[in-house]
Amino acid sequence: MADRATATLRFYEELNDFLPAEARKRDVPIVIDRSRSVKDAIESVGVPHTEVDLIVVDGRSVDFAHLLRGGERVAVYPMFEALDITPVLRLRPRPLRDPRFVADVHLGKLARHLRMAGFDTQWANDWDDDEIVRRSAADRRTILTRDKGMLRRADVERGYFVRATESEAQLGEVLRALQLEALVAPFTRCRECNVDLEDVEKAEVIDRLPEKVRGFYERFKRCPGCDRVYWEGTHFARMQGVLSRLAGATPSGG
């Protein structure tokens, strides 16, 4: 004779992206069979724990292990939500000061864009979920994925679910959501190898430059991994375009 009761969950801001349409931005009743961890209750409706930064049960912030017994009101807030919640218990590390990423196999273009923006982003087209999770844990890398299932794994601590489907929009989304705009450093990292570029004299690479580049650019860098030569050309201009569009956009949420 289980004593069945319900707790009422309410999800805020972009956490609603994970809910079925009929459950968005309203109270969601969750059946509690004797007791259930608040983490389990949250994930039972499809919201990955990696997206959650703050849980408030009946006005008090709690951690994932908190047990629900029925009758509670639970407010669930997303990571990176710009609320002033300093006095309460945050479940996630502070926004990353030295952000590092590992992107899942479907996000190769985003990985290259992030490298072009200067961010250390590991990616390969043949890594399975276990390999990606292992790299995330080993190096405190934030997993970037469009696979919600991966972010629900208990062994994933840092992850971000990418909403956009087009790679430049994904770059803009990640920079804005993780508050990375000020850390962008284009022209510093190889988009293929993910290693730091080295300065190189124009004279050393001039034989390898296309005709029009020889006359137009003076600063060059070289990748010590693959020997590619970089200059502040079209990719750089595109990156600047993405960044200025971000700067002009109104922040999402609210």
In the complex, the residues that contact Zn ion under the rule CB under 5 A are 190, 192-193, 223, 225-226
CA 238 to chain centre: 21
φ and ψ of 44, to 5 deg = -65, -20
Instruction: Tell me the C-alpha to C-alpha distance, in Å, between residue 72 and each of 8, 22, 38, 214, 248.
Output: 6, 21, 10, 68, 41
Residue 248's DSSP bridge partners are: none
Whole-number minimum distance, CB 214 to Zn ion, in Å? 22
Identify which of residues 184 and 190 has a Cβ nearer to Zn ion in the complex: 190
φ and ψ of 15, to 5 deg = -60, -25
Identify which of residues 185 and 226 has a Cβ nearer to Zn ion in the complex: 226
Whole-number minimum distance, CB 200 to Zn ion, in Å? 13
196: left (phi over 0), alpha (psi -120 to 50) or beta: beta
Whole-number minimum distance, CB 137 to Zn ion, in Å? 26
13 C-beta neighbours (distance < 10 Å), count: 18
Encoded tokens for 48: 């990955």
Identify which of residues 130 and 198 has a Cβ nearer to Zn ion in the complex: 198
Whole-number minimum distance, CB 60 to Zn ion, in Å? 51
Whole-number minimum distance, CB 111 to Zn ion, in Å? 13
Instruction: Tell me the C-alpha to C-alpha distance, in Å, between residue 225 and each of 29, 58, 146, 207.
Output: 54, 54, 29, 20
**The tokens 């390898």 sit on which residue?**
208
Q: Is 119 helix (H, G, I), strand (E, B) or coil?
A: coil
Whole-number minimum distance, CB 191 to Zn ion, in Å? 8
φ and ψ of 99, to 5 deg = -70, 135
CA 1 to CA 98: how far, in whole Å?
52
Residue 77's DSSP bridge partners are: 54
Whole-number minimum distance, CB 101 to Zn ion, in Å? 17
Instruction: Tell me the C-alpha to C-alpha distance, in Å, between residue 116 and each of 56, 60, 123, 150, 232.
Output: 39, 42, 14, 26, 11
